[in-house]
Amino acid sequence: MTIPDTTLLPGDRARETADDLTFDVREIPFSRRGSWLDLSPVVALHTHSDLVHLVSHRNGFHGVLALAPERDGVPVEATWSADPGVFRWSDGDATVEAAFDGADAVRLRGSGLGLRLSDAAAALTPFTGTYLFTDPVDDALVFTSYETGHRYRVSVLSGASIVEGSEALGQATRAVTLGADGGWWEAEVRESTSQTTIPSPLRTFEQVVADSRADFAAYLEDLAPWRDARTPAAGRAAYVLWSATVAPSGLMTRESVLMSKHWMDKLWSWDHCFNALALAPGRPDAAVDQLLAPFDHQDDRGALPDSLTHTEVLYNYVKPPIHGWALRRLRATAARPLSRPELDRIHDGLVRWTRFWLDSRRRPGHVLPYYQHGNDSGWDNSTTFDLDRVIEAPDLAGFLVVQLDVLADLSDELGHPSAAWRETRDEVLEVMLEGLWTGEEFVAVGALSGRPSTVTSLLNLLPLVLGERLPREVRDLLATRLEGHLTEYGPATEPVNSPLYEDDGYWRGPIWAPSTALIEDGLRASGFPDLADTVSARFRALCERSGFAENFDARTGAGLRDRAYTWTAAVYLTLAADHARRTP
């Protein structure tokens, strides 16, 4: 499959437009803002099909229907191509095209090729698979999916069709072939919750395509008005965010950016902060929703959930309290001041979230809070957790100090008491420096064992976010240690010369967007702008070369794991926007 290269040449300062953008659906799913659906060959964890599937993210990640182009009943190995408005299968002059008609429907049309829509599960049991029948009201062909809890109504608007396995039970082929006679045809597939008859669409296919392209073009212009040839990945980054955004539904109370419309289709309670920062300069309403999404699910102790999806909110872990840091950054770049009701809601959430760490995550007699597992930190298997899982960690203390500082200022602004927040801030900082700083480096300490952790992880350098609240000599030593993590692609989470380093070791070596963003910001706050510029430039170049993967091999720069990860795209956009502001 050949994907056109639309990268602008060095020296060409023309601004990329939405019309310039194409992408490979093996890397980035084809979808649109607001939809819980996408078209993609990625059908399970690290699993690619030879066929594009209609994938739903309701009630989990499910490839509901396999979509196979055919000619005279014979499968065709068509070429795939995609832009923000339309996905195509092509075989010479014969094509099938797909476009999103709003959030819940996919319009399909073809000429010279048919398209076979088949149940990806095949076996129908009381708890799995789909059931296919013809609606007697309007002759729509309806697949009902147990896995998603929704129906997929195929309305044939023109052309011939063939139905297989209607009303079949158990193991059976269930499929609808559109354009069975090889002529022009058109159809709609609509995700719905009932058998309500859907009127035939009034808009033409061209109008449907134009609507998606226009929505994305406006989004791109809002998020990246600064883009030019020096930021050749800005359009793709914006598309990753736009296409992974879902409308409020189920347990998702706000429009939210999923981490991916591949298998990482959740909102985790620190990932969302980086997406909010990318949205703030151009879409401040969406940024506030993104920041507040997990706060709608705080428990009675003030803990944020580990993650949330359409039908699931998990509390088995938490995530680090970077929300004060994120709020400070968000307000500094937002296109408008936050309103009093917004600030009141954020203040209430931050108070409860901060109290959780102070009241529920401190050992009696201890000032510093603790993580219960690497997952609480977001750095699931960082080497910092090798000796003890339950640790008082320097990154956690640093984030909490920043959050207490931001909360104190916000309390002053809103007329609430603030002295206690500042007193606790100073106490946590003092004990952090006395108990976790060895004179050369920060260590974590086992909350039960008192044993110091290993110190090679980049996690131990995250107190840089404290900036000038750290003594100068501490900042100098942290910056020196950071240079040992820096590869040509950015800061590795474990130095490549460490005996604990692993190329695809998740947080034991690969380069990640959130750690890069926190380190880059910390270096600037700590008085190392040149080193921060280097970190920013290398990570931006990495994304321009390797896309927006979940993480990257620190030696080669190759993308790893999920290949369309929104916080990677968000950090690229944030760093690029910051760079554009500094170097017009």
Among 553, 548, 556, smallest CA distance to 573 is for: 548
pLDDT, one tens digit per residue, over 465-522 is 999 999 999 999 999 999 999 999 999 999 999 999 999 999 999 999 999 999 999 9
10-26 mean pLDDT: 71
DSSP characters over 129-180: SEEEEE-TTT--EEEEETTTTEEEEEEEEES-EEEESTT--EE---EEEEST
Report the share of the chain in percent with pLDDT over 70. Answer: 95
pLDDT at 46 over 50: yes
393-421 mean pLDDT: 98
Strand order in the sheet with 313-314: 267-268, 307-308, 313-314
Q: Which domains does the chain have, with CATH numbers?
A: 18-194 (no CATH), 252-582 (1.50.10.10)
pLDDT at 5 over 60: no
pLDDT, one tens digit per residue, over 88-133 is 999 999 999 999 999 999 999 999 999 999 987 666 666 678 899 9
Give backbone dihedrals phi and psi of 115, rounded to 5 degrees, phi first: -135, 125
pLDDT band, residue 11 (cuts 50/70/90): very low
Residue 428 in 3-state DSSP? helix
pLDDT at 14 over 60: no
> Beta-carbon neighbour count of residue 235 at 10 Å?
26
pLDDT, one tens digit per residue, over 445-467 is 999 999 999 999 999 999 999 99
pLDDT band, residue 283 (cuts 50/70/90): very high
For residues 291 and 239, the answer to whether their CB atoms sit within 8 Å is no
- DSSP β-bridge partners for residue 97: 88, 109
Residue with tokens 């954020």: 346
CA atoms within 13 A on the CB side of 411: 18
pLDDT band, residue 170 (cuts 50/70/90): confident
Least confident of 13-27, 128-142, 220-234, 511-525: 13-27
Q: Which residues contact 82 (CB under 8 A, 6 or more apart)?
A: 22, 23, 24, 25, 28, 30, 88
- Who wins on pLDDT, 13 or 176? 176
DSSP assigned state of 543: H
For residues 548 and 240, the answer to whether their CB atoms sit within 8 Å is yes
pLDDT score, position 508:
98
- DSSP β-bridge partners for residue 106: 100, 189
Burial class of residue 344 in the structure, from the number of CB atoms within 10 Å of its CB (0-12 exposed, 13-18 middle, 19+ buried)? middle
Q: What are the C-alpha distances in Å from 454 to residues 121, 382, 479, 499? A: 47, 10, 18, 12
347-353 mean pLDDT: 98
pLDDT score, position 1:
29
pLDDT score, position 201:
64
pLDDT score, position 577:
97
pLDDT at 247 over 50: yes
pLDDT at 182 over 90: no
408-412 mean pLDDT: 98
Residue with tokens 């927006």: 548
Residue with tokens 């130095």: 495
pLDDT score, position 122:
65
Task: Tell whether the torsion through CA atoms of 52, 58, 61 and 63 is positive or negative.
Answer: negative
For residues 258 and 243, the answer to whether their CB atoms sit within 8 Å is no
18-24 mean pLDDT: 86
pLDDT score, position 526:
98
Q: How far apart are CA 317 and CA 306, in angstroms?
A: 5
Least confident of 28-32, 161-165, 402-406, 470-474: 161-165
pLDDT at 12 over 60: no
Across the chain, what does the average pLDDT equal? 94
Q: How far apart are CA 343 and CA 325, in angstroms?
A: 15
Q: How far apart are CA 123 and CA 6, in angstroms?
A: 43
Q: Looking at 398-538, which runs of residues are DSSP E strands? A: 445-446, 486-487, 490-491
Q: How far apart are CA 535 and CA 234, in angstroms?
A: 18
